[in-house]
A and B are shown apart, each in its own frame.
Chain A
Amino acid sequence: MTDALEIQRVEYAYSRDVALRGVSLGVDAGEIVAVTGPSGCGKSTLVHCAAGILRPQAGTVTLAGRNLAELTEAERTRVRRTQVGIVLQFGQLVPDLSLKDNVALPLLLEGHHAAAARRAALGWLERVGVAEDSEALPSELSGGQNQRAAVARALVTGPAVVFADEPTGSLDSRAGEQMMELLVASARDGGAALVIVTHDNLIAAYADREVRLRDGVVQHEVRLS
Chain B
Amino acid sequence: MQEEINASAVINIKGLCKSFGENNDVLKGVNLSVKKGENLVVIGKSGSGKSITIKCLVRLIDADKGVIKVFGTTINNLGEKELNAIRIRIGFLFQNSALYDSMTVKENLAFPLMRHSTKLSLKEFDDAINESLESVKLIEAKDKMPSELSGGMRKRVGLARTLILKPDIMLYDEPTTGLDTITSREISHLILEIQKKNKTSSIIITHDMTCAKLTGDRIVILRDGIIYAEGTYDTLEKSEDEWVRSFFI
Judge: A and B partners, yes or no. Answer: no
Question: Which B residues contact A (CB, under 8 angstroms)?
Answer: none
